[in-house]
């Protein structure tokens, strides 16, 4: 092995060792190579683009409810984010939270979230992804797998579209708006757990979280969990019930 290769491996090992983080509540160790500043800047960029290209619903009962519930959960999250909550017209049953607390809820999810507590389940889950920096974790894994060792040179501008694409994929945003790519099973389960803790602190009915995921599973043909990026509905609900038991 050449000296340059050895030095590169040693540098990468030191870089990774110095970039170990802990997730909130679950206290899991994770490797994150992208700085908070770059993550927030990319998040703001994607968020602005999303709002510009979408139909944002304002001053309706539903949109105001999204903001009200979101702010209540954000308060207990106790993180210095510049929180924003918006309802967007989209039939997809989904939502997402970008770095810095930029939360988007699709109108489609309102068909499944039957009440405030169930909507709080959705918002808490998405906020949990952001608090645990799951997207940044995925970016880091992607960069390592591609052999990119130094992330400090990432430019936050339109001159670096390859990084914007990597960011969007890492945070669940597909190539076209409205298509969300799921997080991995481990991160989904972790977001469920953190989300339940947030709901509990905010005073929401945790049993409604179970009902929400039951609603989500209705009419869906389940895939074998091993082949799916999401936990099966059965295992997800079972896990959430166990978390709730610990809090009661």
* pLDDT value for 53: 93
Cα separation of 73 and 201, whole Å? 8
Say if residues 124 and 198 touch (Cβ distance below 8 Å): yes
Q: What's phi and psi for 98, nearest 5 deg? A: -90, 165
Q: What is the percentage of the chain residues whose pLDDT exceeds 90?
A: 48
- Highest mean pLDDT pick, 100-104, 167-171, 184-188: 100-104
Instruction: Give the residue from 197, 237, 171, 201 showing the smallest Cα distance to 26.
Output: 197
Is beta strand 102-106 parallel, antiparallel or unpaired with respect to 95-98?
A: antiparallel
Cα separation of 235 and 89, whole Å? 31
137 is catalytic: no
Q: Count the alpha carbons within 13 Å of 164 in the hemisphere toward its beta carbon.
A: 15
Is beta strand 95-98 parallel, antiparallel or unpaired with respect to 56-57?
A: unpaired
Cα separation of 233 and 236, whole Å? 5
State both tokens at 122. Answer: 């959705």
First to last CA, the chain: 57
The answer, yes or no, to whether residue 176 has pLDDT greater than 50, is no
Q: Provide the 3-class DSSP secondary structure of residue 104.
A: strand
204-218 CB burial, b ≥16 within 10 A, e <16: bbbebbbbbbebbee
Tell which wins on pLDDT, 97 or 155.
97
Cα separation of 194 and 183, whole Å? 15
The answer, yes or no, to whether residue 152 has pLDDT greater than 50, is no
Q: What's phi and psi for 27, nearest 5 deg? A: 60, 30
pTM of the model: 0.80
pLDDT tens string 5-16 = 444 444 454 445
Catalytic residue among 39, 84, 126, 190: 126
Residue with tokens 């709730």: 244
DSSP code, position 232:
P
Q: Provide the 3-class DSSP secondary structure of residue 113.
A: coil
pLDDT tier, 165 (very low <50, low <70, confident <90, very high otherwise): low
pLDDT tens string 48-102 = 989 999 999 999 999 999 999 999 999 999 888 999 999 999 998 889 999 899 9
């Amino acid at each position: 092995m050449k000296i340059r290769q050895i030095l590169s491996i040693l540098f990468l090992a030191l870089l990774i060792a110095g970039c170990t983080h802990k997730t909130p509540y679950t206290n899991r160790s994770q490797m994150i190579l992208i700085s908070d500043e770059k993550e927030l800047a990319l998040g703001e960029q994607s968020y602005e683009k999303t709002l510009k290209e979408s139909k944002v619903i304002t001053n309706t009962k539903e949109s105001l409810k999204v903001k009200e519930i979101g702010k209540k959960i954000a308060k207990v999250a106790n993180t210095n984010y510049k929180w924003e909550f918006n309802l967007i017209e989209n039939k997809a049953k989904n939502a997402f939270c970008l770095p810095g607390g930029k939360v988007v809820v699709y109108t489609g999810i309102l068909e499944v979230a039957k009440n405030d507590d169930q909507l709080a389940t959705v918002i808490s889950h998405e906020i949990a992804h952001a608090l645990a920096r799951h997207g940044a974790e995925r970016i880091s894994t992607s960069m390592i797998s591609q052999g990119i060792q130094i992330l400090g040179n990432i430019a936050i501008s339109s001159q670096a579209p390859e990084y914007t694409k990597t960011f969007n994929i890492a945070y669940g945003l597909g190539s076209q708006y409205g298509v969300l790519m799921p997080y991995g099973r481990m991160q989904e389960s972790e977001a469920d757990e953190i989300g339940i803790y947030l709901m509990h602190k905010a005073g929401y009915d945790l049993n409604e979280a179970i009902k929400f995921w039951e609603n989500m599973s209705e009419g869906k043909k389940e895939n074998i969990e091993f082949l799916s990026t999401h936990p099966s509905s059965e295992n997800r609900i079972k896990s959430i019930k166990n978390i709730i038991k610990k809090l009661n």
